[in-house]
Amino acid sequence: MRRIDDLIDEIQRIGFSCRRCGACCTGDGAGSDLVLLSPAEVRAACNAAALPRDEVAEPYPESIDGPDGTSCTFGWSYRRQEGHCRFLDGTRCTIYDARSWICRTYPFMLDGDRLCVSECPGLGAPMTRDEAAVLACDLLARQAAEREEEDGVGQVYACSRIPPGASVVIDSEGVWTVHG
C-alpha cells in the first residue's frame, strides 16, 4: 500500500493547476473524453443538472458480446454531444460541484500503487503541498470507490441471467436493458 506522504510528494513534484481549458472534456481521439461512471455518480449528475438518467448518461461503449447474441457493458459514461461532454459549456463544467471522481482527479489516476499521469496543459504548474494533499486524498478515495463498484458489478454479474440477444448494462445496482 502506498504511503500518502509519498503520493503527495510525487504529485507536488509533477505539479498541476487546472487551466479551465476544457481540453479533457473534448478529447481529440475516439473515446478519449469518455468518463466511466458509477450509479452514484450518475445520480449526482442527474440531481445537479435536474435531468433524467437517459439525458445524463449512456452505456459505456466498450462491451463484451456473448455467443448467444448478448452484449454486456459494465458501466455508464457521461452522454456526449457535438464531440464533447454534454456538461461542457464553453470551457466550463455545468455540474462542477457534482463532477465524477475521474473528472475531479484528472489528469492523475492510480493503477495499484503507481501514479499515472495523462497529457494536460496544466501539468508542470507549481502547487502547494496542501493542494497536492487534497488531490492525493481524492485519488485514494477514487481508487476505493472504483474497487467497491468493481466488486459490486462482480456480485451482480455472478447472480444475473441475461436473456439471449439482450443488450445490457451491468453496474453495482443491477442489470439494465439497453433499448435502441
Residue 172 located in a structural domain: no
Residue 74 has pLDDT above 80, yes or no: yes
Q: Considering the domain boundaries, does residue 89 fall inside one?
A: yes
**Bridge partners for 80 per DSSP:** 85
> Could you list the residue range(s) of the whole structural domain that residue 35 is in?
4-62+76-140
What is the pLDDT averaged over residues 22-37?
75
Burial (0-12, 13-18, 19+ Cβ within 10 Å), 118:
exposed
Q: Is residue 151 part of a domain?
A: no
Mean pLDDT throughout 30-38? 77
Domain count, the chain: 1
Is residue 30 included in any domain, yes or no?
yes
Is residue 154 in some structural domain? no
DSSP assignment of 17-66 equals ------HHHH-SSTTTT--EE-HHHHHHHHHHHT--HHHHEEE-S--EE-
Give the pLDDT mean for 149-158.
97
